[in-house]
Amino acid sequence: MITFKPNPHKLRVTPSSKEPGRFDWSITRDDMVVRQSVRSFGSDGASEANGDVAFREITAQWQRAR
């Protein structure tokens, strides 16, 4: 039997607080930052694409640990 459990992680893309006009991403779990971008990106799409790679890694680790 397969039991579906929703992913507790969320990917957020926000305007950079350090570099105006650029974007950062962060991955949270229970409103705590688990991982965040080291650098900022020129568009929200580029930031989201880069964050999605990290999101998939964290999700895979979480699924293996269950």
pLDDT digit string, tens, across residues 18-43 = 999 999 999 999 999 999 999 999 99
State pTM to two decimals: 0.86
Residue 62: pLDDT band (50, 70, 90) is confident
Q: Can you give the pLDDT at residue 3?
A: 65
Domain of residue 39: give its range.
Answer: 9-65
Domain-located, residue 54: yes
Q: Can you give the pLDDT at residue 2?
A: 63
As for how many domains the chain has, the answer is: 1
Domain-located, residue 4: no
Domain-located, residue 44: yes
Q: What secondary structure letter does DSSP report for 3?
A: -
Q: What secondary structure letter does DSSP report for 20?
A: T
Amino acid in the structure at residue 40: S
Phi-psi region of 23 (alpha: psi -120 to 50; beta: other; left: phi over 0): beta
Q: Is the pLDDT of residue 6 over 70?
A: yes
| Coil vs helix vs strand at 45 | helix
